[in-house]
Amino acid sequence: MSVISKTFVATALLALAAAGARAQDIKIGYNADQSASGVAELGTAGRWAFEAAIEDLNKSGGILGRKVVGIIRDDLGAPPKSIQNMTELIDNEKVDAVVGPANSGNALAWLHIPQQRKIPVVVPIATGSEITLRYAKEPQNYLFRVSMVAGEQITQLAAYAVKASKTQKIALLADSTGYGQGGIKDATEVLALHKVRPVIVEKYGPKDTDMTSQLAKIRDAGADVVIIYGIADGTAHVLRSMEKINYLPITLGTWGNLSGLLPRIAGTKLAEHLILAASTTEDSNARTKSLGERVRKNFPTLTTFPCSAQAYDSVMLIAAAMKLAKSTDGEKVAAALEEVSGVQGVIKTYNKPFSKTNHEALNVADFYLARWKDGTPVRYEDAIIKSLTPADLKR
């Protein structure tokens, strides 16, 4: 054999060996907005915790004795880009599971892809109720979630609103997107369980900055509690408009308002007027504090910590399912996700968080209320919160 032939054979063998080594890696994709839309801050917070979780897995020996590799994609908050990312992650990168996205609309645009390819997805941020329900009647549903599903947030906010209102005149104000209008529908249905009808329902455009007209109508209707369903920049402008007309009723919002956009636009003190739903905050326990410190090394302006905690726990649940299944086969891992138990996360220990009929790892029993204080979200408690009982959490 010539020297050239020997060199070619050696090179080919090395290439095959390298390919074999790569094939041994377990790949988990992350697909979420990290730069473009109003939820980019949430996606970025999730991304760095996703990487922290993979680092911790590899420090403890990986999964099934194999190294875990994270494949990061930024979907720019755009459904076409998010679809492209999912296709590349599954077909080209050959990922074994995916964590993401941040935007509900993006998830709804590509749910069919992992479902058809039998690739488990754990959603750590997006809250749209349909995400885990669209394929719930299939023999195996491949969509799971560790986030604050929209309906469960409203269960908590409505319970607080009904007890906080002295007149039972509760107003709903939401942005005009599918997210906001879906929230109006959920809130109306949950308030009806309390035998309360919204005294008035108003909406605003996602780029509006002056909501004084809508708020004047809400004030004139006598509302003493307002539930806002929108993301942080819109809510910040609502708060500024409230201040402008000197009308500051009890104001409640969803967890998307944990974004630093809220205090940056509304101002630190005005942001503290909003009471919002949260799955956890950095001051919850030693694990949350530690993760917050790690994420902040890469993302110093972190405020959306629940996204970090939920993304970290999503990876750990995937890892636990692969270990239980003794496989990375998508069908086996999805089935194992419905059986895992005793998984230590940042938010809690997950004891059989999923079942065949329920793919939501968190529910209203896991949530609490938070408030901005000096530019940081912290757990909030008052006499009304202390008085709430499970019977008040109507669903």
Would residue 2 count as lying in a domain?
Answer: no
Query: Which CA distances in Å does 325 have to 57, 124, 295, 321, 331?
Result: 17, 22, 30, 6, 10
Same domain, yes or no: 62 and 28? yes
- Asked if the structure places residue 160 within a domain, the reply is yes
Number of folded domains that form the chain: 2
List residues bridging with 350 in a β-sheet. Answer: 343
Give the per-residue pLDDT at 47. 97
Query: Residues 309, 337: one domain?
Result: yes
Are residues 161 and 273 located together in one domain of the fold? yes
One domain for residues 109 and 213: no
Examine the domain organization and report whether 220 and 139 are in the same domain. no
Spans of the chain below 70 pLDDT: 1-23
Domain span holding position 223: 151-278+368-392
Q: Which tokens hold the place of 236? A: 């910040």
Q: Is residue 174 part of a domain?
A: yes
Residues 14 and 140 in one domain: yes
Instruction: Report the 3 state secondary structure along the chain.
Output: CCHHHHHHHHHHHHHHHHHHHHHHCEEEEEEECCCCCCCHHHHHHHHHHHHHHHHHHHHCCCECCECEEEEEEECCCCHHHHHHHHHHHHHHCCCCEEECCCCHHHHHHHCHHHHHHCCCEEECCCCCHHHHCCCCCCCCCCEEECCCCHHHHHHHHHHHHHHHCCCCCEEEEEECCHHHHHHHHHHHHHHHHCCCCCCEEEEECCCCCCCHHHHHHHHHCCCCEEEEECCHHHHHHHHHHHHHCCCCCEEEECHHHHCCHHHHHHCHHHHCCEEEEECCCCCCCHHHHHHHHHHHHHCCCCCCHHHHHHHHHHHHHHHHHHHHHCCCCHHHHHHHHCCCCCEECCCCEECCCCCCCCCECCCHHHCEEEEEECCEEEECCCHHHHHCCHHHCCC
Dist. CA 44–CA 65, nearest whole Å: 29
The verdict on 87 and 186 lying in the same domain is: no
Give the model confidence (pLDDT) of 226-253 as tens digits: 999 988 899 999 999 999 999 999 999 9
Please check whether residue 268 lies inside any domain of the structure. Answer: yes
pLDDT at position 277, please? 87
Same domain, 236 and 336: no
pLDDT tens digits, 193-216? 999 999 999 999 988 999 999 999
Per-residue pLDDT at 19: 47
Same domain, 253 and 386: yes
Question: Do the domain assignments include residue 245?
Answer: yes
Establish if 1 belongs to a structural domain: no
Same domain for 340 and 255? Answer: no
Q: Do both 224 and 373 map to the same domain?
A: yes
Q: What is the pLDDT of residue 364?
A: 83
Residues 298 and 206 reside in one and the same domain = no
With respect to residue 132, please indicate whether it lies within any of the assigned structural domains: yes
Specify if 293 maps to a domain.
yes
Question: Given this model, what pLDDT does residue 23 score?
Answer: 53
CATH number of the domain that residue 382 is part of: 3.40.50.2300
| The predicted structure's pLDDT at residue 395 | 82
